[in-house]
Structure formats: structure tokens, C-alpha cells
Structure 1
């Protein structure tokens, strides 16, 4: 009795996908660049390529946090302005008191981490004469912490 098996081994779906990609079906007829063929493949490189660097996550979290504080401050300021619509001096005093009590620790913790670790994580070169890290796009990498003074400069008590 003849066997029904062919001489070709049965391929898994992954193997069929790889063969199709090597045949060019998934590349729309474009050949693989020679650089790609000769690039060393490592687990570390694979993981680095798929994960956002911590410094980038932290900068994103800082920006999101600053935006949230701005939105909350704007909303609180409008509410307080409505409470003291007839008395600008009372509004200014109440606004300063509210801002003085506001905590920015959530964002400031991220900013402190950024200021400490960013140059190391980005492997920034250091100027040997000054001992300072180089500027990024002409600006220092350090971020200023959020304070009551920052909030009052963003949302002054004397303007509409």
C-alpha cells in the first residue's frame, strides 16, 4: 500500500509566512536592502527596537503632567473668578492662596529623575573644560520644577 505522504515536509504557518516574505510577496516586489541582510541580529537589539527608551517615556509623562496641571489650574481659576466676580482683590488673594497649597510633586518627581538620569541614559558627551553636558539643540537638557511661582506666571491673578 502506497503512503499518502509526499516527500515535502509539512510547513507550519510561520514557515509559510517566512517563505512568502522571502519570495517577495509581502514586500511588494522590493528586494531586501543589503544593509538589512548584513545587520547583526541580537536579542538586545530586538528589545531596544520594540521598547520606548525610559528617558522618552519620562519626557512624555512630564509633558502630560504639565498639561494636566495647566488644565486644572485654568478650571480652578475660572471657578474662583466666578466666586469673586465683584471683587478682583479678593479673587487675587484667594487665587494666590489656592496656588500656594497646590502640589506639583507628581510632575516634579519625574523632572528630578529626568535631570539626574537623562544625560546618562542618552550618553551625552561632556565638555571637559566645564564639566557640563552638551546642549541638546542649543538648549540645556535640564527641566525646571513646577512651583507656585510657575503657576502664577502661567495664570496671573490680575488678568482676565
Structure 2
């Protein structure tokens, strides 16, 4: 009986996403691929439902970013709506393409770091140097949040750890 409940929930979610203009592909139940193209920018998301009926949403394009886990399918819809609205707003900037490339670089750096860490015995000096550079980047991001004008305001705290 649980299987039918999940299928009904999946159908409702798929319908709501299609109403937003998405193409929803069932890769293999319970994994779904969501495609939007808005003003020339491709948005791609993956979501899946685990055995406890919890949803996990991840943006995979224009760059990869885990978004969140949810209890309700409505939260997926709302998250995608907000995500796309923020990108529509950001696209007004002349720096939009640079922003996308920078984020892609950050994702690639994380992947490279993981490969290096898993394949090499990194010296404590190299690791400290990398950590120092990351602290510098975090500090710069904190400065940006403190000193720049907000252009998109939602009930979302930006925390920089």
C-alpha cells in the first residue's frame, strides 16, 4: 500500500512542476530529473524520495549544489520556485556569467581536493596552506555580506562558517 501512496505523491509533484514549465523525467523510481530553461539558462535538478518518504533536492545546473531535505513535496516546489526567482534576479547583473563560472570553479576545486586527499598523503604544511586560503575566502565572503547592498531579500539567513 505504501508504494501506491508514494506514486500518488510523485504524480502530484510531477504535475505541479510541469505547471511551472518543467520537464520531469523519472530516471528510476524514486529518482527524478527536472529540467527548466529560463531566459537561456538551463536549470537542472534531481530529487529522490527515500524509504521514510523524505525528499532530497539537489540543483545540478547551472552548477551543482545540494539544496535540502524535506518532509513534504510542497517544499520541493517552493524551493525550486525561490531558487529560480533568485537566478532570474541575478541574471540582471552584468556579472552573471562570471558568477556561474566562479561557482563551477568552486565545485571543481572541491572535487579536485577530494581526489587529492583520497589518493595522496598530503603534508600538514600543504593542508595548512589550503586551510589558510579557505579562511581568506571565507573572510572575503563575510566582508561582501557586510558591505554590499542586498538585491534579493527572502526569509533566508546567509551564514558563513
Which range, TM-score by smaller chain? Answer: under 0.3
Which fold has the larger relative contact order, with Cα–Cα distance below 8 Å and residues 6 or more apart in sequence? 1
Q: Which has the higher strand share?
A: 2
